[in-house]
Chain A
Amino acid sequence: MAKFEIENLNLWYGSHHALKHVSLSIEALKITALIGPSGCGKSTLLKTLNRMNDLVEGCRITGRVLLDGQDVYGGMDTSLLRRRVGMVFQKPNPFPMSVYDNVAFGPRTHGIRGKARLDDIVERSLRAAAIWDELKDCLKKDALRLSGGQQQRLCIARALAVEPEVLLMDEPTSALDPISTSRIEDLVVSLKQNYTIIIVTHNMQQAARISDRTAFFLLGELVEYGDTEKLFSLPRDKRTENYITGRFG
């Protein structure tokens, strides 16, 4: 079943046409990878899904984005949308506060109070992000003092704490060392059971390793979209083949 249905999406930053006639259907409880050379619009597409582009001046959108059949741009409350569609950024961006407060920020935003309930959510989220064992004894610690990999897993826990249905990840491992990267990859694969995941990556091996479906973009256009295995072994489009074999980009 399709979680997101993107229909003929066009996006302009001022006069720059950043997404061109993109139609794409994202399957629920699968990992979808968005790949393509720098500047092709991967982050832009990701941000249209939870309307983070609303914050960009001069950004204009046509077409439709449906979440479970509901038009995201048709008067949907952005706060509720972002609760359902969480986001993890390229550079880990924990807030300058304690580990606990970072994770509890989202639930508190949505009106959850009471220490027992928050304690429970914090623990569950940190467990889900595979970082509970490392942090359970230092929940009061300043999040900025964690390592980069820990910070990124904390950000994943923070996103999970509001119980989203979809997780958007924009190159979540590009700022991390290989060991942290592989931990996050394992984590992403395990999260697939409960969450629909859309991940942007520059790392071809990473896309091949963890994703079920892959979409290849070039200059704002969707060139090819299909099962990851097929796309990497038997690309239909010449441009896809050139990209995944490293002939450009």
Chain B
Amino acid sequence: MSARAKSFAARLLVYAGASFSMTVLLFIMGYILVRGIPHLSPALFAWEYNSENVSLTPALINTLYMTVLSLAFAVPLGVGAAIYLSEYAKRSSRLVKVVRLTAETLSGIPSIIYGLFGALFFVVTLRMNLSLMAGALTLSIMILPLIMRTTEEALLAVPDAYREGSFGLGAGRLRTTLKIVLPSAAPGILAGVILGIGRIVGETAALIYTAGTVPEAAENLLDSARTLSVHMYSLASEGLHIEEAYATAVVLLATVAGINALSAWTAGRLGRRSNGQI
């Protein structure tokens, strides 16, 4: 084959791959939108759930709680651990390698395993019952490795020349990390958080046996609470409200899209901030 033919074939392959994945994505989205939008009724957004209206509002609120709570545990821990690994620990140390390997292994475990662990540990042993708290703790353990790894990668991608410049001016490790390294890494860290949010919002298996399926907005941390995904799963598996399940899927899609847009906007602002005042 001549070089031109080869490059043509390569291009064809790339285009074929790209258009195939685009088509699949658009098809799924289109399918859900077409099946779901006609069933978006005001009743679906009623404040209280009952078996007639199968309102998704409580689940939407619970999703918000679950996301915020899980992130409140996972982000400080994950980012803190990553800062320790990349900025404080010796780069060649055994501990760093062990922690990295553990995180990598943990991020490959199916979520149902986390669910099982959460059910046994938080729900039974710690007597939290099926609750928002037990669910959020389980999810935060689940996304911790993800947050840690993406943050560490973002920190390691910050050029050492910045650190040297800062140390060279007499700044300590803390100031260098907070004022120079973290702002440069913020967009990368946020990308990890977005992935984490995606997993929280989309999770069902790890939640059914930890947060339970009560379709009411949680009033305190120990209330059982079903999130949108769990809600959808329940509707679909009961088989009585398939149309509403599609409508719920539309709302779920919109929620995820909204969160991503918000995050991208924040990342943009953070990026600009790090170039501005300190």
Question: Residues on A close to B: CB < 8 A?
Answer: 50, 52, 55, 57, 78-83, 86-87, 89, 91, 93-98, 101, 105-106, 108-110, 140, 142, 144, 155, 158-159, 162
Does B162 count as interface, using CB distance less than 8 angstroms? yes
- B170 surroundings in chain A (CB, below 8 A): 78-83, 106, 109-110, 162
When the two chains form their complex, are residues B168 and A159 in contact, meaning their CB atoms are under 8 A apart? yes
Give Cα A162–Cα B164 distance, bound, in whole angstroms: 16
Does B67 count as interface, using CB distance less than 8 angstroms? no
Which chain B residues in 206-264 approach chain A with CB under 8 Å? none
- A144 surroundings in chain B (CB, below 8 A): 275
Does B165 count as interface, using CB distance less than 8 angstroms? yes
When the two chains form their complex, are residues B92 and A57 in contact, meaning their CB atoms are under 8 A apart? yes
When the two chains form their complex, are residues A97 and B275 in contact, meaning their CB atoms are under 8 A apart? yes
Give Cα A98–Cα B168 distance, bound, in whole angstroms: 19
Give the residue name and chain of the B residue nearest to A81 (CB). Answer: B170
Number of residues from B at the complex interface, CB < 8 A: 25
A186: min CB distance to chain B, Å: 23
When the two chains form their complex, are residues A89 and B161 in contact, meaning their CB atoms are under 8 A apart? yes
When the two chains form their complex, are residues B91 and A93 in contact, meaning their CB atoms are under 8 A apart? no
Give Cα A50–Cα B159 distance, bound, in whole angstroms: 21
Give Cα A110–Cα B175 distance, bound, in whole angstroms: 11
The 7 closest A-B pairs by CB, nearest first: A93-B161, A106-B169, A82-B170, A87-B168, A79-B170, A83-B170, A109-B171
Give Cα A154–Cα B246 distance, bound, in whole angstroms: 58
Give Cα A106–Cα B179 distance, bound, in whole angstroms: 12
When the two chains form their complex, are residues A91 and B161 in contact, meaning their CB atoms are under 8 A apart? yes
Give Cα A95–Cα B278 distance, bound, in whole angstroms: 11
Chain A to chain B contacts (Cβ below 8 Å), 6 pairs = A82-B170, A86-B169, A95-B180, A96-B275, A106-B171, A162-B170
When the two chains form their complex, are residues A82 and B278 in contact, meaning their CB atoms are under 8 A apart? no
Q: A-facing mask of B262-278, CB < 8 A → 1, else 0?
A: 00000000000011111
Give Cα A142–Cα B272 distance, bound, in whole angstroms: 10
Does B86 count as interface, using CB distance less than 8 angstroms? no
- B276 surroundings in chain A (CB, below 8 A): 97-98, 101, 140
- A109 surroundings in chain B (CB, below 8 A): 169-171, 175
